[in-house]
Structure 1
Amino acid sequence: MKPTKKWMDWYYKTGKKYVTPVILIVFFIVAFVLICQMVKPESYNVKLFEVAQKTIRSPQTIEDTQKTAEEQAKAAAAVEDVYVFNRETAQNRESLVRSLFAYVTEVNREAALNDAKNDKMTSIDQKLDSLKGKLSKNVSEDITEGVNAAMLTILIQMNVKDLQQVEKEVVSALDVAMGQSVRKDNMTDIKVSARDTIELSNLPANYKGVAKTILSYAIVPNEVYNAAQTEDRRKEASANVIPVKILQGQVVVQEGQIIDREIYRQLALLHLLDQKMPIKQYAGFGLLLLSLGIMLYFFTNKQKNLNKARKNQYALVFSSVYIAILLMLMIIRFLEGADISNISFLFPAAFGPMIIKILLNEKFAFMMTIFTSVTSFFVFQSDATAAVNVTVSTFILLSGLASIVVLRDYSRRSAILLSGFIVGLANMAFVFLLLLISNTGLLTLAFWIPVGYAFLGGIGSFVLGIGVIPIFETVFGILTTSRLVELANPNHPLLKKIMMKAPGTYHHSLMVANLAESCTDAIGGNSLLVRVGCFYHDIGKTIRPPYFVENQLHGINPHDRLTPEQSRDIILAHTTDGAAILRDNHFPQPIIDIALEHHGTTLVKYFYYKAKEKNPDVSEADFRYSGPKPQTKEIAIINISDSVEAAVRSCDAPTKEKIKAIVDNIIDDRMQDKQFVACDITFQEIETIRATLCATLNGIYHQRIQYPDDK
């Protein structure tokens, strides 16, 4: 076996299932690289303390964490210390002062009693010692440490009236002083004010000093510093600081401005010096693409009318178009870098949805519109302002939707071009409205140039789509309406080959096409695909035309000279041979599938029973087609129509009853043989096919009036 043939056999048996995952992974990596390349910030070759050669704007909104921290520190430092006012302090200090005067009175009274009892005068020193003892024994505060002995001696020597007057003035001044907020930082001022009050009072001059001393001692702070509350308020003030941000589009440095340390720091923060993005941004874009991929995966799997191979094919086509869109976005970004104003509106936003609608279907086209607009939002985020970003993304969304709505007839290139012209006009209207909303001046070039770009982008999308659709059809085997029309042309080389080499097969194929097309229309399938598929479904018979009954002339049957096994091999080979011919001619996969699957795994009964006559132990499996069984309802219809047409054609004088019996027998045989278990055809559709076949065949083989011969 040749290496190429060996590799192809491995590919179609085993390797084919690995192709889709590998290609999707490659597409994911390519898309990730392209997006990161487009969104990463532009690098500027600037140096510290040099003059800026151009105005540099911020490509994104980013928090300046250093500035934010500085503002938070300022806000916290501006918060004053929290003090708690204690009303009991004033009462306690007043009680302390009154206790002092009470003890003085008590000492004088005790001394008077002792003098009367002992008829002896108590000395001043004795009174002072007694007073000090009372003031320092079993007390919470030793007053003698704050009021010296000289002051206490003066108190002891006062008469009762003077002592009461001094007490009254001290307590009164103390109440005024302690009624204020007294802290360590203002306590001196309050004491001075209180002493001035005593100085201005009516006390005798020789008593004012002791009053001032007692008052100064009694005045203490009545507000206590609260560390916990202070810290809480500072944290709250820090948290209330609005983060300092460098806004997208904000001028970081003006042309001609000196790049100082602060500007240089901001440029570095924005990665405008190293052309790098933070790791979290790379991760973010990776997760974005992963999310889009997951959406595409589940969306594709929900399409019940697609088998697994078609789903993989759709995913590959969708991914390929998405990569092409990313490349176009990169070109637009490059042109923007060349300072071409508003060039982003030239982006062919309708290209992706238009080509996906033609290649796949309208649902996938809407999905492509969403993917494109979401991606563009991030790609254009480094524009001068966020408003421009939103405007361009909105334009791309609207243009994509317009292309889906406008494009209806895509079987003719002229119709596609007309749709492109209409989309171009719609693009002009969209940009006109968006620029009005953004308050752009009507009489400026900045207004009308984008409108012109939008028109060119609309037409260009469709012109570009017409050019690349054949590439996608060839590479991915996608079957479009225009491609089907092209394959249905009788002048196609392969159809000519069938007509020349196997005219009977050609006629049979046309008849099968008519039957299958009618059935497909009846159940709402792809009738054009069925018709074209029928044209080529038996192309494998062109290799050995005489071995198939419709091509045999003059009653000569080559199988008469062959064993049943040899005949079997020739008959069974026409499906695989046909698929190989179509594959070599780069036919779309659905047509290849029809050639390969139109007999499913049915039994070649004639040669099986002929072989069984010679060998009763012959295996039935050896006389079955290799399949696979029909994977779509369209191929199931061809499977039935092919057998019905051959059976009715071989019937003598077919009547309605005979036709109905043939159709019923063939359909029931296929059902019992489980030939339709791999496709999604329903019992209701099978009954519709049964009725349609009978009606169509009755129309073809209707009874004719016997005209008399002319004599």
Structure 2
Amino acid sequence: MVRSWALEDKTHKLSVNTQNRMHVALKTAIILHKVPNHPLKRRDIIVDRLQEFFAKIKHSLGNTLVRALLFILLGIVLYAVMFSNVKPEQLDVSLFQTAPQTIRAPIQVEDKELTEKRKEEARSQVQDVYDLKTEYSENQVNLIRSIFELAEEVNAEIAKEMKEAAETAEEKQDTEGTSSGDTSAEQPKVEEPTLEEKIERYREKLSGDVSSELNDSVLGALLQATPTQLNNTKDLTITAVNHVMSNRIPANQVENAKREVEEQLKYAPLSPPLKDAAIALGRYGVIQNEIFSLEKTEELKKQAVEGVEPVKILQGEVIIEEGEMITAEVYRQLELVGLLNNEDQIRPFIGLGALVIILVGGLSLFFRESHSDGKHSELLIYSLIFIISLIFMKLVSLLQPINSQNIGYIFPAAMSSMLIKILIHDRLAIINTILLAIVSTIIFNRDVSGAINFDIGVYILLSGIAGMLFLTGHNQRSRILRSGLLVSLLNMVVILSFYLIKNSPFPSLDFSYDALMGIASGVTASVFTIGLLPFFEAGFNILSGMKLIELSNPNHPLIKKILTEAPGTYHHSVMVANLAESACESIGANGLLARVACYYHDIGKTNRPKFFIENQMNIENPHNQISPIASKNIIISHVTDGVKMLKKAKLPKEIIDIAEQHHGTTLLKFFYHKAVESGADVKEEEFRYPGPRPSSKEAAVINIADSVEAAVRSKNNPTPEEIKEIVNGIIRDRLQDGQLNDCNITLKELDTVAHALCETLNGIFHSRIEYPDMKKLQKGENK
């Protein structure tokens, strides 16, 4: 019987080798177009070549130099897509030429010449400041009063002198008469000074300025007036001067003020000489009392100059419209913003280079500690998605002439974030969204070189993060589409908020146009995500949630093979899938991966299905007819055969690893003890699976669930206590045998797994009502 099995196995191997050779021949024939209608289509060959190409790149990324070259490539792409947006525009225009296009300022700059001109205008518009000198009125009144007082003083002195002279002459006469004895002599006469002499004396008392301003008739009238007349004249003159001088008298109004004094004194009750004298003194007493204040005027001019805002040409401001004539002022502004010269043209390129270095440097730091093959795959996938997003962004920006306002709103910002979340992880999706938001502020700068469009940056940041957050669940296509629709709604709200924040008249037509682009952005993001996802999954052989759902389709060739060739194994796989999925989800592992892997983990049993107990229905167990060693080889071979079949079908590596590890290096106890009992010289290592042991939580859970399902199924109506004992016993056995040493599952998580397995098994093997036999009931009724 052993010889028969060996012959059968040899025949099987020959058959397999023949099939492999035929498969290679068919594949070659397709390449040479000899078998064009064979199911193995050219697309599969292209996918194979693509996978090989990306595999070589991923392998080369283990070299530090190659990784550095990849980051340099990203930097070059970044620099290239933003180069035209920072390149200073040069115009070939001349004075009095018609503008060939609408010209906008590429930068913000202060127009110093126009600013100085406005400052001079502000200075010239400041009125001179004049102070009212109130003390001038008092001084002039005192001056007029002094003039009158001096006249009184001159008259008093003359009267006194005459009196003294008369007294002296009288004493002298008395003395002479006594000595001569003649007492009848006449009284001596003292001559009064002439008017001219009085005026001369008067002028001596007056200051030189006053004396020169007053003529002899005025002084003579004052000297000839009686004290009463002089006092009245003084009062009238002082009152008139004080009244006129109480008002502002600028330089150009002095003569008018003098005439006003003259009018007031013209009808005074004075004699003509005194009236003329009063008028002359009143005119003399009125002077300018509003004096120019240089200090205050300069202070006001300084304030006016400080109040002049610097004249700036704003970035994006229209300097001249298309078709207008370039005047000298416009030409000066064009020169000022650097559109007519080549000075400082290197600055924008240096700034762009610095920005690119910062962005790429941040990415390199993020991937710096990544040296595993999986991380290299993530780096390559991210680089492709990032470059595709940049190309999309640049293509959209080229439509700027169609809508010079907000064409960037149509960019599918959520596409890259959703792709990266599905293919890699959330954290990198957030970093990517931030980078794209920064780049977009320059690419969508509204045709103004070097401008920064912060609105579009905020829009892309919010849209990208929203796409990632709205994408939940198992990432089915329907969920991607739903996420895109939600992003469209959020885009509309963000655009509306921009319009409201600006607090300007609400342009309904512009908002409708921008909102339509926001809706298109979310929808196209989901469409592009769905469209690009299969290329990444195929090219990198990525196991995404959508790929897992596709692999779980019962129409998959391998699942149909299990169902038709090993129905018992198919039922066992489904049961294990239910157990493993609930247990994995209870500890935060990938339940969907566990379920799908269970569908394929026993695919190797389809080579010899009758040698496995779940497929032995109403037949004798073939292991009873062969040796324990042959049985061991058949049982163990289902793992290795399954791995070969899965690799041949190009299933993802994660599923192949679980199929290879689902028995670990456990011992086939039944056949080992059977061999020992038969007296054969065998070692325990010979009856162990080749392994490797489980290296992930999903593989560890499936390892336990596979044994648990088989053990519980062998029991007839197991109770919850029996199920719990079986589950705990198998987990304890795996721990003692060291089968879980290579995975990162904890003892606490194993307790959770045990609880989840027990709950699921209790639901499957719950007690049922025993229905009565209808035939027996009928027989009892007939009796």
Q: Same fold (TM over 0.5)?
A: yes
CA distance in 2, matches of 1:59, 1:409: 47
The residue that corresponds to 2:572 in the other structure is 508
The residue that corresponds to 1:108 in the other structure is none
1:367 shift after superposition: 3.2
Match 2:501 to one of 414, 434, 437: 437
CA distance in 1, matches of 2:443, 2:688: 57
Q: Retained in 1: the 8 A contact 2:404–2:446?
A: no
Q: Retained in 2: the 8 A contact 1:399–1:427?
A: yes
1:672 shift after superposition: 1.7
SS in 1 for 2:399: helix
Change (3 A) 1:492 1:540: same
1:542 shift after superposition: 2.0
SS in 2 for 1:635: helix
1:35 shift after superposition: 1.0
Change (3 A) 1:531 1:614: same
The residue that corresponds to 2:746 in the other structure is 682
* Aligned amino acid, residue 32 of structure 1: G
CA distance in 1, matches of 2:615, 2:707: 16
Establish whether residue 697 from structure 1 lines up as the match of residue 697 from structure 2.
no
The residue that corresponds to 2:76 in the other structure is 33
Q: Where does 1:526-545 land on structure 2 (aligned, <5 Å)? A: 526-545=590-609
1:503 shift after superposition: 0.9
Change (3 A) 1:279 1:540: farther
* Aligned amino acid, residue 534 of structure 1: C
The residue that corresponds to 2:359 in the other structure is 288
1:18 shift after superposition: 2.3
Q: Retained in 2: the 8 A contact 1:472–1:478?
A: yes
Change (3 A) 1:513 1:373: same
1:623 shift after superposition: 4.3
- What is the root-mean-square deviation of aligned Cα atoms in Å? 4.6
Change (3 A) 1:397 1:17: closer
* Aligned amino acid, residue 463 of structure 2: S
Per-residue displacement from partner, 1:92-112 (whole Å, max 9, x unpaired)?
A: xxxxxxxxxxxxxxxxxxxxx
Change (3 A) 1:316 1:385: closer
1:404 shift after superposition: 3.5
1:668 shift after superposition: 1.5
1:579 shift after superposition: 3.7
Change (3 A) 1:382 1:650: same
Shifted more, 566-575 versus 505-514: the winner is 566-575
The residue that corresponds to 1:321 in the other structure is 385
Q: Where does 1:381-420 land on structure 2 (aligned, <5 Å)? A: 383-384=447-448, 389-408=453-472, 413-420=477-484
1:283 shift after superposition: 5.4
Per-residue displacement from partner, 1:589-630 (whole Å, max 9, x unpaired)?
A: 43333223222233344445556666646471x544343332
SS in 2 for 1:321: helix
Structure 1 residues not aligned, in runs of 5+: 68-244, 302-307
How many correspondences in the alignment?
Answer: 520
Per-residue displacement from partner, 1:661-684 (whole Å, max 9, x unpaired)?
A: 432332112112222223221111
CA distance in 2, matches of 1:516, 1:472: 28
Establish whether residue 492 from structure 1 lines up as the match of residue 556 from structure 2.
yes
Shifted more, 611-620 versus 390-399: the winner is 611-620
Q: Retained in 2: the 8 A contact 1:58–1:246?
A: yes
The residue that corresponds to 1:269 in the other structure is 344
1:403 shift after superposition: 2.6
CA distance in 1, matches of 2:698, 2:386: 30
SS in 1 for 2:400: helix
CA distance in 2, matches of 1:653, 1:254: 90
CA distance in 2, matches of 1:649, 1:410: 31
Q: Retained in 2: the 8 A contact 1:62–1:246?
A: yes
Q: Retained in 2: the 8 A contact 1:354–1:365?
A: yes
Q: Retained in 1: the 8 A contact 2:88–2:339?
A: no
Q: Where does 1:89-168 land on structure 2 (aligned, <5 Å)? A: none
Q: Retained in 2: the 8 A contact 1:576–1:596?
A: yes
Establish whether residue 629 from structure 1 lines up as the match of residue 693 from structure 2.
yes
CA distance in 2, matches of 1:698, 1:408: 31
* Aligned amino acid, residue 291 of structure 1: G
Q: Where does 1:198-237 land on structure 2 (aligned, <5 Å)? A: none
Q: Retained in 1: the 8 A contact 2:58–2:377?
A: no
1:551 shift after superposition: 2.2
Greater Rg over alpha carbons, structure: 2
* Aligned amino acid, residue 269 of structure 1: D
Match 2:492 to one of 424, 428, 441: 428
Shifted more, 506-515 versus 538-547: the winner is 538-547
Change (3 A) 1:36 1:563: farther
Structure 2 residues not aligned, in runs of 5+: 1-16, 28-47, 113-311
The residue that corresponds to 1:149 in the other structure is none
Change (3 A) 1:295 1:380: farther
Change (3 A) 1:507 1:34: same
Q: Where does 1:525-564 land on structure 2 (aligned, <5 Å)? A: 525-559=589-623
1:508 shift after superposition: 0.8
Match 2:432 to one of 368, 375, 378: 368
1:37 shift after superposition: 0.9
Q: Retained in 2: the 8 A contact 1:31–1:326?
A: no
1:351 shift after superposition: 1.6
SS in 2 for 1:269: coil
* Aligned amino acid, residue 489 of structure 1: N
Per-residue displacement from partner, 1:125-149 (whole Å, max 9, x unpaired)?
A: xxxxxxxxxxxxxxxxxxxxxxxxx
Establish whether residue 519 from structure 1 lines up as the match of residue 583 from structure 2.
yes
1:473 shift after superposition: 3.0
Q: Retained in 2: the 8 A contact 1:38–1:333?
A: no
CA distance in 2, matches of 1:268, 1:410: 57
The residue that corresponds to 1:211 in the other structure is none
Q: Retained in 2: the 8 A contact 1:441–1:447?
A: no
CA distance in 2, matches of 1:643, 1:522: 19
Q: Retained in 1: the 8 A contact 2:359–2:435?
A: no
